[in-house]
Amino acid sequence: MTATTSSAAPTAPTAPPARSPDPSPGPRLPTPRGPISEAVVDLCTGRLGAPFPSHRVVDPYGEDLQLALYVCYELHYRGFVGVPDAMEWDLDLLGIRLELESIFLDALRRDVAGGDDLDAEIAGLLTEQVGAEGVSHHLAGTGTLEQFREYVVHRSAYHLKEADPQLLVVSRLEGPAKAGLVRVEHDEYGAGRAEAMHSELYAAMMRELGLRADYGHHLDSVSGTVLAEVNLMSLCGLRRELRGASVGQFAVIELTSSPGSARLVRAARRLGCGPATEHFYAEHVEADAVHEQVLRRDVIAPLVEREPALRANLVFGIQASQLLGDRFADEVLGAWRAGRSSLR
């Protein structure tokens, strides 16, 4: 997709009728971004490519490692065309994934403050900094339609499977915390109505914006910084030891998204995007305001009451999620300020 930073008034794309996501045989394996992701893709396809470059200095947040991790995790979701379902539990791939996870987790633990002051972390989530300038601020104020579309492409890596990573942790919780999290997930999945699932609403928005909405279509275009955010969700959901971090990461989404979604509603109106686009973000303004209360009262409170030792785990999830979110925002805004596309 070719980006533009022109200040000329954009013309909104024609909105096609709402329907299910574009028919597709499934996502295709992405183009590797380095030797690590190349080794993972080769394993998935059964090719005897270059050996996995173990014990070398790699960027834990880099495009290569994050794409490799994302491919490994996708085998637990929708898989890829031409990759046998049995590869989900291939021992060689699992060994690579564990090594990559270790590199990623070590970096996150090094780069966040840590601690167990959960109350302070939650209070920070509920208070927006005066003068903050994030992606939603930019799009609400001066962003172009093409920049809005780029943002939607990046976020499709998560929103086309919205709430799936968090569902992984449900079986690892007990009692009221489990029931509270299921209540939030029930809303994410449209309260039992397929057409109202948030992933379906996102697909409708993408089509309205003139974008392909089939799952995984944009994987070659999205930034490694957004892949890292989604990888954290999958990593924490798949590891019982990180169940608290999974809840903490989810808290960042649900406790902070209402103001950002409200700004994106304003951006959609200013740019003339159409009803499906406005509806997706308006739905999150309302739903996440409710989810904030449920997560605090019915998930986090009973979880730490039952397992006080998970406070530090929750704090780590919150801090790691914020660190990765800040990296994504800095990269995208930096590209736009430089007059270039934020997509690969």
Residue 50 pLDDT: 59
What tokens appear for 314 in the block? Answer: 């929750």
- Going from the C-alpha of 180 to that of each of 126, 187, 324, the distances in angstroms are 20, 11, 26
Rg of the chain over CA atoms, in angstroms? Answer: 20
Please state which CATH number belongs to domain 118-337: 1.20.910.10
Neighbour-count burial of 18, counting CB atoms closer than 10 A to its CB (0-12 exposed, 13-18 middle, 19+ buried): middle
Say whether pLDDT at 3 is over 50: no
Name the pLDDT band for 9 (thresholds 50, 70, 90): very low
Neighbour tally for 195: CB within 10 Å: 11
Residue 15 pLDDT: 41
| Percentage of the chain exceeding pLDDT 90 | 82
Q: Which residue has the higher pLDDT, 19 or 96?
A: 96
What tokens appear for 142 in the block? Answer: 């001066």
Say whether pLDDT at 1 is over 70: no
Residue 287 pLDDT: 79
Rounded CA gap, 74 and 41, in Å?
Answer: 12
Is residue 237 within 8 Å of 113, Cβ to Cβ?
A: no
Least confident of 18-27, 30-39, 116-125: 18-27
The distance between the two most distant Cα atoms of the chain, rounded to a whole number of Å, is 56
Say whether pLDDT at 300 is over 70: yes
Rounded CA gap, 141 and 333, in Å?
Answer: 13
Amino acid identity at 191: A
Contact partners, residue 119, CB within 8 Å, separation at least 6: none
Residue 130 pLDDT: 62
Say whether pLDDT at 4 is over 60: no
Domain boundaries, the chain: 35-111, 118-337
- Going from the C-alpha of 190 to that of each of 184, 187, 228, 243, 264, the distances in angstroms are 10, 5, 26, 24, 21
What tokens appear for 49 in the block? Answer: 């490519």
Question: What are the tens digits of pLDDT across the range 127-184?
Answer: 877 667 899 999 999 999 999 999 999 999 999 999 999 999 999 999 999 999 999 9
Q: What is the DSSP string of 280-314?
A: HHHHHHHHHHHHHHHIIIIIIHHHHHH-GGGHHHH
Question: What are the tens digits of pLDDT across the range 329-343?
Answer: 999 999 999 999 999
Question: What are the tens digits of pLDDT across the range 232-252?
Answer: 999 999 999 999 999 999 999
Rounded CA gap, 331 and 298, in Å?
Answer: 35
CA dihedral over 32, 240, 226, 115, signed as positive or negative: negative
Contact partners, residue 103, CB within 8 Å, separation at least 6: 58, 60, 65
Residue 6 pLDDT: 35
Question: What are the tens digits of pLDDT across the range 57-94?
Answer: 789 999 999 999 999 999 999 999 999 999 999 999 99
Main-chain dihedrals φ then ψ at residue 308, nearest 5 degrees? -60, -25
Question: What are the tens digits of pLDDT across the range 262-297?
Answer: 999 999 999 999 999 999 999 999 877 788 889 999
Match 């794409």 to its residue by tokens.
67
Residue 83 pLDDT: 96
> Mean of the pLDDT values across residues 91-108?
95
Could you tell me where the DSSP H helices lie in the chain? 35-45, 63-74, 91-111, 118-125, 135-141, 145-159, 164-167, 175-188, 198-208, 224-238, 243-271, 275-294, 301-306, 311-337
